[in-house]
């Protein structure tokens, strides 16, 4: 299943001529592009500085800049180890940076998390 941060807001034809995509050095859609506006119910701008500055989040996987400050992305994105190598896929950050399972809505499961 494709994660929401892996999908652009425009189609392939639009992306080929988009000035954001063609002039960007990393190919990421910039946050002020009207096609990157996220209308998914999971989208929420993160306000927790600890989450926003979490160095274990692999921000390279996001094709839209707006995803890099989305709470859902920051909680569910793939993780990096201390050396910067990818270590995980979907999960949520729990206490002390542990990665746990997601429920259908991207929330942390409380069943056996961190045990």
Q: How far is CA 58 from CA 12, 39, 41, 102, in A?
A: 24, 22, 22, 17
Instruction: Judge contact between 29 and 63, C-beta under 8 A.
Output: yes
What are the pLDDT tens digits along the chain (115 aa)? 778 888 877 777 877 777 666 666 777 888 777 777 788 888 999 999 999 999 999 999 998 888 999 999 999 999 998 888 888 654 444 433 444 443 333 333 333 333 3
DSSP 8-state assignment for residue 81: -
SS3 106: coil
d(CA 63, CA 85): 19
């Amino acid at each position: 299943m494709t994660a929401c941060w892996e999908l652009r807001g425009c189609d392939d034809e639009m992306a080929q001529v988009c000035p954001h995509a063609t002039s960007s050095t990393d190919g990421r859609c910039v946050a002020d592009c009207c096609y990157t506006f996220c209308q998914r119910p999971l989208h929420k701008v993160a306000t927790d500085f600890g989450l926003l500055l979490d160095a274990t989040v692999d921000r390279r996987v996001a094709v839209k800049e707006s995803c890099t400050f989305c709470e859902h992305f920051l909680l569910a994105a793939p993780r990096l180890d201390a050396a910067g190598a990818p270590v995980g896929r979907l999960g949520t950050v729990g206490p002390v940076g542990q990665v746990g399972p997601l429920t259908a809505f991207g929330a942390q499961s409380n069943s056996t998390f961190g045990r």
